[in-house]
Amino acid sequence: MSVSSYLSFVFAGTDEQAIIDLLGSRSCKQRVACLKAFKTAYGKDLIKDLHSELSGDFRKLVMAMMKTPTQLDAYEINSAIKGAGTDEACLIEILSSRSNAEIKEISRVYKEEYKKKMEDAIASDTSGHFKRLLVSLAQGNRDEREHADMSMAQQDAQALYAAGENKLGTDESKFNAILCARSKTHLRAVFQEYQRMCGRTLRRV
């Protein structure tokens, strides 16, 4: 039985276990291919059918499984900023962990899906230093070299100390410049150097 035929059979009685077995045994690429196969065979949108047939957390899980990683990131960012409150942890999780190319692709998909620039959407829902931090991360301009320059790491650790712990108030622009532009390998070296220099982690400052 083809995927599209099987899905049609499943939806006749909304067999949740059958849906789990089908989607859970296929890769993301194969699941996305199911969307095209279903529309070709039945002239219907599989996502809309799934959404109408399912409910609760199971529906959320299946909806997430039917998206590409980039589509899911764009969806999660939109969910984090819409409605009351902002899911700050979600925004940081995505924007600080993705590569430059991935962030640019998320931005493209976000604009295509939600008809608004991701940067503008984030900026309109946040404020102050946190907004500037997220806008900086959303540019996708982080240094991606794997090598850490230990001399520069020491300079950056000293700069962060001077801009934060050793200053009345905080020079947020200095934190932005280092945390959003330096490579992840370099930042690990900076954090280690900061702890060696100050006897405490940067997170505790």
Angle between the N-to-C axes of helices 100-114 and 118-125, in degrees from 0 to 180, rounded to the nearest 10 = 80
Q: How far apart are CA 139 and CA 134, in angstroms?
A: 9
* CATH H-level, domain 3-65: superfamily: Annexin (1.10.220.10)
The rounded average pLDDT for each run of 10 residues, N- to C-terminus, in the chain (205 residues) is 56 71 86 86 84 88 92 96 89 96 98 97 94 95 93 94 71 88 95 91 70
* CATH H-level, domain 150-204: superfamily: Annexin (1.10.220.10)
Tell me, yes or no, if the two domains 3-65 and 150-204 fold the same way: yes
User: What angle (nearest 5°) sits at the alpha carbon of residue 107, between those of residues 99 and 58?
Assistant: 90
Residue boundaries of the structural domains of the chain: 3-65, 69-137, 150-204
- Structural tokens at position 148: 């850490």
Which fold does the domain 69-137 belong to in CATH? Answer: Annexin V; domain 1 (1.10.220)
Listed in sequence order, the residues at least 6 apart from 12 whose beta carbon sits closer than 8 Å to its beta carbon are none
